[in-house]
Chain A
Amino acid sequence: MSRIDAIRALLQASLDPQHLEIIDESERHRGHGGWKPGGGTHVRLVVVSEVFEGQNRVDRHRRINSLLDPLRAEGLHALSVTALTGKEWLKNNCITG
């Protein structure tokens, strides 16, 4: 399983996301610390899930970080996270277009 597929499986199993984007940005970080050939070292996530309701940003990130913790040992180096509830996501989309 690729790193991206592994991330998707872990998040889907626990967060029941209504929207999930996983973008491999590793190539943009070529040669930077933590970069390795083959991708999956620098990853951007957009996770929309009702489990985030009532949680602040730090709690949401901690939840995602702990789910993906096993992958850090395997080379996942940098995560950019946008974690929203369905309501917030709708609002965000309306604002951006």
Chain B
Amino acid sequence: MNDNAVAARIRQEITDNPVVLYMKGTPMFPQCGFSARVVQILSTLGVGFKGVDVLTDPSLRDGIKAFANWPTLPQLYVKGEFVGGCDIVSEMMESGELQTLLKDKGIAAKG
């Protein structure tokens, strides 16, 4: 896929799915500790999400970094908006901001 096609694919994915996590590995088998941590946080909150494994597609692995102007993975999107990577999601979980954000966006979350 060329760059535009990758960006279009991502835009479609984050529009069609309320919560999307671009990650290394799958939610069942994360291949990186940072990805695993965000999966764990979303699971703790009981939030359903689509996990997208970038390791299966080199063009996506590079394309998602350009798309968000964000050089690392994982990347969490809620209702089409980029929320952040592992550090930001972890901080927001601890402060309660993540739960507030999800509720404001109409996504059911525990806690």
Q: Which residues of A contact B (CB under 8 A)?
A: 29, 32-33, 57-58, 61-62, 65, 69, 72, 78-82
Contact = CB atoms under 8 A, between A and B. Distances in A.
Contacts of B85: 61
Nearest to A62: B69
Given A62-B69, A65-B71, A69-B71, A82 B34 contact: no
Interface string B33-50: 110000000000000000
B86 interface: yes
Interface of B: 24, 31-34, 69-72, 82-88, 91-92
A33 B71 contact: no
Nearest to A44: B87
A36 to B, nearest CB: 16
A32 B70 CA distance: 21
A82 B71 contact: no
A78 B24 CA distance: 13
A65 B88 contact: no
Q: Which are the 3 A-B pairs with shortest beta-carbon distances?
A: A57-B88, A65-B71, A81-B87
19 contacts: A29-B33, A33-B24, A57-B91, A57-B92, A58-B70, A58-B82, A58-B84, A58-B88, A61-B70, A61-B84, A62-B70, A65-B70, A78-B34, A78-B72, A79-B72, A80-B87, A81-B87, A82-B87, A82-B91
Nearest to A65: B71
A33 B86 contact: no
Among A33, A58, A72, A79, max chain B CB count under 10 A is at A58
